[in-house]
Chains A and B, each alone.
Chain A
Amino acid sequence: MLELIWLIPALPLLGFLVNVVLGRVLGEPKSGALATLMVAASFVVTVGAFFDLISMPAEERHHVVTGFSWVPVGSLHVDLAFLADPLSITMALFVTGIGTLIHLYAIGYMHGDPNFSKFFIYLNLFVFSMLMLVMGENLLVTFLGWEGVGTCSYFLISFWHTRDSAATAGKKAFVTNRVGDWGVMMGMFLALGAAGTLSYSGINHAAESGALSAVTATAIGLMLFIGACGKSAQLPLYIWLPDAMEGPTPVSALIHAATMVTAGVFLMTRVNPVLAIAYDWVPTLIAIVGVATALFAATIAVAQTDIKKVLAYSTVSQLGFMFLAVGSGAYVAAIFHMVTHAFFKALLFLGSGSVIHGMHHEQDMRRMGALRKLMPVTAFTFIIGWLAIAGVPPFAGFWSKDEILLFAFAKSPILYVVGMITALLTAFYMTRQVIMVFFGEARWNDHSAEHGAHGDFKPHESPKIMLLPLVVLAGLSVIGGVMQLPFTKDLHFLEKWLEPVIEFGEADIHASWAYENKYLLLGIAVVVAISGILLSAVVYAKKKIGAIEPALLADGWRYDRAITSFMGGPGRRVFDGVAWVDRTIVDGAVNGVGRLVQGAGGTLRKGQTGAVRNYAAAVGLGVVALLVWFLLRGVVL
């Protein structure tokens, strides 16, 4: 089965190609079913590869399948090669698994859309790109996928491109991601220059054997981290993710919660030996950026009223947790949280999509309330997702978040405290959302005038095809923690599985105070989660305390506006200046050379008379001149 891993990205690509040609002919729902089937088949292959890998001894779990030589230029040699190792297969498992569920959901959600088949074309292309990203054996294949997912993200955010806000949000995501892509390219160039190869095993081996100096490793690590910040929406490049909610909800769930935004964390984990030999301040910087983003986004989420915006900021916040883990050397915890987050955040997004579907495209939580009776399955599954993200045991999110905070404590208690505050806020704003949407009094009739076309408006439960993915994801959110339970070493399944990939970079915290008191920390985490939920219940359900939702937070700390006014003012002038230099000096040089050649040609062509006798005379004179030259130099003929 391991020889067949190229099928994992190839099957969604096939689905994409078939839908490009036949999508309109197949129509709804066949084109959606085809796309879903392709991703599901890809999932089956991945499962097969997983069982093959796990039956091998740990140190042999590294299999490369080379498709063809992609870039053979001099000493640079890059293959289109796929790598099957515990990390890539873990990623591929949840990308294809959750991808299948979300494709299935989208068949219901996109029902009646005039561009139904186009949606699945993009969705398949996205899954293909994402799998290239995670399965790539070298940075260039990963970069191909990296750009591919960025492009698909752009297409899908502005899928309803006739809406001005959607078109703008797509452009914003694309442009912001370019900043990060610059970092990835720089990191690639540096790695190629220093290690002489782009393959992960080559780069990581150079780092482990000491061939890579600490300075170079620092530069490579920082550049790739800039790329990761762009793709995974960390400070200061997070701004595109909340706007990306303009896309259809399945897109938000698949791309902007479960898969694409975790690419940055994946890349950091992939090159963990490089980060391990970099200067110590690099991991510290990553941890600080991560925890700062987590707190920053959580404070904004507290004051949002759009059901999807809350989840978007929550995603930014949870990604911050993953970077905190990476910075603390807790790569297993980062991947663990990535997987559990993919379960519960995809669940929450799909749940919110179900609510939006049932509310006839109403996204304002102030106009919802008491939906649990009308949408029982959505409400039930959403509540499971809420408990998972809030950190209530035994749901999945509790275990992964706790593991991250354990490592953060071992690195620095300050990181732990900030992380805990964020966890408190997470429990608080998620409870707020659940109460506003599913409990309290029904507020949708207050605005019935706006829904005049529907007559007496009543939210309804979504069709079964949308509920099935919700139920499956809810199940996974409940049991997801089993992958890595903290109690005994035997229960660290994920750690044992990932060990060959991360053993060089993983921090050893067994001797730390935090590890010895891990049950105490576990207890604190439970108390914090419960108090966050209770506090929120007091504010929003009992209404004992007035809600504090300052406009500053609702506006995202005015960060967007600050960027707009900076980029529109001084930034704009810098860009104009650069454009002027490009137009006059760079283009001037190029056009000048062109004009010089043109003028010289215009003059010289006059020598060509077209008269045969002139040419003959020139040949004759030339022969005479040559003869004279030979004679003068005394050459013996």
Chain B
Amino acid sequence: MSSLAAATPTTTWYLILAAVLFGIGAVGVLVRRNPLVMFMCIELMLNAVNLSFVALAEKMGDIGGQTTVFFVMVVAAAEVVVGLGIIVSIMRRRPGVTADDVSALRG
């Protein structure tokens, strides 16, 4: 246990954490039907990617990766505004609706 406590987190740890978070998010999008939860899972995936960007930027000494994260966060914020707006308006019209029920684009 002492070795674990003494160990400094390496880049690999962050990347593994990012991969796990991304996987949770991806599975969540695929298996959950509640649009709000699916939306949160997408946010999780985005932030997993952000984490890997930051970790790699630190490792390579390149500020570019960290800059990209700011862009991702700004775009994500904008996307939340639009996405939440759509979800709220759908929920208001059809309370308790699931993602599978909204299939007006079926061919």
Residues of A within 8 A of B (CB): 604-613, 616-617, 620
Contacts and interface: CB of A to CB of B under 8 A. Distances in A.
Given A604-B107, A605-B107, 6 more contacts: A608-B107, A609-B106, A610-B106, A611-B106, A612-B99, A612-B102
B33 interface: yes
Nearest to B27: A620
A620 B26 contact: yes
A616 B107 contact: no
Q: Is the interface of B mostly helix, strand, loop or mixed?
A: loop
A580 B14 CA distance: 75
A51 to B, nearest CB: 74
Contacts of A604: 107
A610 B33 contact: no
A607 B107 contact: yes
A607 to B, nearest CB: 7
Nearest to A623: B26
A611 B100 contact: yes
B33 A609 contact: no
Contact of A609 (B30, B38, B103): B103
Contacts of A620: 26, 30
Interface in B16-63: 26, 29-31, 33, 38
Contact of B33 (A605, A606, A607, A613): A613
Interface in B86-107: 99-100, 102-107
Contact of B107 (A606, A612, A613, A617): A606
Contacts of A607: 107
A611 B103 contact: yes
B83 to A, nearest CB: 12
Contacts of B38: 612-613
Interface of B: 26, 29-31, 33, 38, 99-100, 102-107
**Highest count of chain A CB atoms <10 Å: which of B30, B100, B107:** B107
A613 B30 CA distance: 5
Nearest to B105: A610
B99 A613 contact: yes
A596 B58 CA distance: 56
Contacts of A612: 38, 99-100, 102
17 contacts: A604-B107, A605-B107, A607-B107, A609-B103, A609-B107, A610-B102, A610-B104, A610-B105, A611-B106, A612-B99, A612-B100, A612-B102, A613-B31, A613-B33, A613-B38, A616-B30, A620-B26
Nearest to B33: A613
A610 B99 contact: no
A608 B29 contact: no
Nearest to A607: B107
Contact of B100 (A605, A606, A613, A617): A613
A71 to B, nearest CB: 43
Contacts of B31: 613
A612 B103 CA distance: 8
A607 B100 CA distance: 15
A440 to B, nearest CB: 88
A611 B100 CA distance: 5
List the 5 closest pairs (A to B, CB-CB), nearest first.
Answer: A610-B103, A610-B106, A605-B107, A608-B107, A610-B105
Contacts of B104: 610
Contacts of B105: 608, 610
A609 to B, nearest CB: 6
A483 to B, nearest CB: 78
A611 B101 CA distance: 8
A173 B29 CA distance: 74
Given A611-B99, A611-B100, A612-B99, A617 B30 contact: yes
**Highest count of chain B CB atoms <10 Å: which of A604, A609, A613:** A613
Contacts of A610: 102-107
B10 to A, nearest CB: 20
A527 B105 CA distance: 93
Contacts of B106: 608-611
A625 B100 CA distance: 25
Contacts of B29: 613, 616
B45 to A, nearest CB: 10
Nearest to B26: A620
A608 B103 CA distance: 10
Contacts of B30: 613, 616-617, 620
A608 B102 CA distance: 13
Nearest to B99: A612
B18 to A, nearest CB: 15
Contacts of B99: 611-613
A612 B29 CA distance: 9
B42 to A, nearest CB: 9
A431 to B, nearest CB: 84
A373 B100 CA distance: 101
Nearest to B29: A616
A613 to B, nearest CB: 6
Nearest to A615: B105
A454 to B, nearest CB: 78
B27 to A, nearest CB: 9
B53 to A, nearest CB: 15
Contacts of A617: 30
B103 to A, nearest CB: 3
Contacts of B103: 609-611
B56 to A, nearest CB: 12
A510 B72 CA distance: 95
Nearest to B101: A611
A604 B107 CA distance: 9
A608 B105 CA distance: 7
Nearest to A612: B99
Contacts of A616: 29-30
Nearest to B32: A613
A613 B31 CA distance: 8
B46 to A, nearest CB: 14
A348 to B, nearest CB: 75
